Amino acid sequence: MSNVRWSIVVREDVDKALRAYLGRLGAKKGDLSQFVEEAVQARLFELTVQDVKRRNQEYLQDEILEAIDEALASE
């Protein structure tokens, strides 16, 4: 998988806080990028879970669990 370069803008206080945190951990080159990537992945996961929950609101929990059980049984 290849990497891409982003140009992002954040508030100065956020930059300082993050760099201070990473500095306390003994950050190495690339740790800032890794932190941002993990934060983006976590946020995308959170948004996906919210979307699924919103989409499934119309169903009863028992219906969802039954559908899961059926899907697992058919494997």
Q: What is the pLDDT, as a whole number, of residue 55?
A: 93
DSSP states of 46-64: HHHHHHHHHHHTTS-HHHH
The Cα–Cα gap between 45 and 57 comes to 18
Structure letter (DSSP) for residue 1:
-
Does position 1 have pLDDT exceeding 90, yes or no?
Answer: no
Does position 74 have pLDDT exceeding 90, yes or no?
Answer: no
Q: What is the pLDDT, as a whole number, of residue 75?
A: 74
Query: How does pLDDT run across 13-56, given as a tens digit for each residue?
Result: 999 999 999 999 999 988 999 999 999 999 999 999 999 999 99
The Cα–Cα gap between 1 and 35 comes to 18
Q: What is the pLDDT, as a whole number, of residue 36?
A: 96
Least confident of 4-13, 43-52, 66-75: 66-75
